[in-house]
Amino acid sequence: MLDPLEFQLDHHIADLNPRKRRDPGNAKEFIFSREVKGRLSSSRKLENLYLVAIGIRPSSMFHPESIEEMLLVHEVAQKLGMGVVIRKCGTLVYKVFLFGREKEEMALRIPDLYENMGYREFIVAQITMANLTGQFLEFPSCCVESFVKHLMEGTDQDLAAHEELRRERGPDPRAYFVERFVPCSVKCPRAIEEGGRIRDRLKTMDRELAELYLKLQIGHMEDVRLGRILREKTERDDKLSLPLQGWTRRGKKQG
């Protein structure tokens, strides 16, 4: 495992190039082994690691809850032959990207973002990052465009999604196909199609994991409906400390 101090001095030492993908059975045996069990969430193991390790998804991304979680995922990914890049989005906020060989070149283009570039420049950089990340993760283009539109207009996509989902009767959990992904609408056909594709692939390979994946999809939908994503985003925004740079989050210079 990487040394935490060395990592915090230079997080780029964590970058890993992908190797040949693991056999699904071997990947499952290791990811859900006693060595890993209880130390990572089901979403981290299934969606971020397993789906990418065996090629159902080309890549994944998550916001780590701690340095320890991030370094453990890095250790597991290294043993599975997965590619890894860890980038900063502000001084205290990390994003972890996991990927296979087909995304290796694009992964190297993912930049770090720092709040000391000023609020407006930071937002422009976020928009660039959102477009690149959406392409890297192969999210539906309509959902990426919706997210970017909210950034440009200074509105809150997570709040809009939360309010829409609370009004919706009989929403389809397939639209929430990975943790913290927010579709452009509750009924987004492309998001529903992707969630259905992943579940169908798992059914043909491992019904136990297919059932776990369905539970995760329902949980992700509930995270949006109950406002959990909103709260987590507020905590991440607080870590950015943008007002300390002389700006409010609406882009107005403080007196």
Q: Which region among 73-77, 115-119, 153-157 has the lowest average model confidence (pLDDT)?
A: 115-119
Instruction: Name the phi and psi angles at 87, rounded to 5.
Output: -125, 155
Q: Which region among 59-73, 83-97, 231-245 has the lowest average model confidence (pLDDT)?
A: 231-245
Instruction: Name the phi and psi angles at 93, rounded to 5.
Output: -115, 125
Exposed/middle/buried for residue 44 (C-beta within 10 Å: 0-12, 13-18, 19+): buried
How far apart CA 144 and CA 134 sit, in angstroms, is 6
Q: Does residue 60 contact residue 45 with C-beta atoms inside 8 Å? A: no
Could you tell me the pLDDT band of residue 151, with boundaries at 50, 70 and 90?
Answer: confident
Joined together, the tokens standing for residue 37 give 């069990």
Could you tell me the pLDDT band of residue 168, with boundaries at 50, 70 and 90?
Answer: very high
Average pLDDT of the chain to the nearest whole number: 89
pLDDT of residue 120: 77
Q: Which region among 84-88, 123-127, 224-228 has the lowest average model confidence (pLDDT)?
A: 123-127
Q: What is the DSSP letter of 186?
A: T
pLDDT of residue 237: 66
User: For the segment 34-87, what is each residue's pLDDT rounded down to a tens digit?
Assistant: 888 889 999 999 999 999 999 999 999 999 989 899 999 999 999 999 999 999
- The domains located in the chain, with CATH, are 1-112 (3.30.1370), 118-255 (no CATH)
Is residue 97 within a helix (H) or strand (E), and if so which, with residue range? strand 94-99
Instruction: Name the phi and psi angles at 248, rounded to 5.
Output: -90, 170
Could you tell me the pLDDT band of residue 229, with boundaries at 50, 70 and 90?
Answer: confident
Is this model's pTM higher than 0.85 or not? yes
Q: Does residue 80 contact residue 74 with C-beta atoms inside 8 Å? A: no
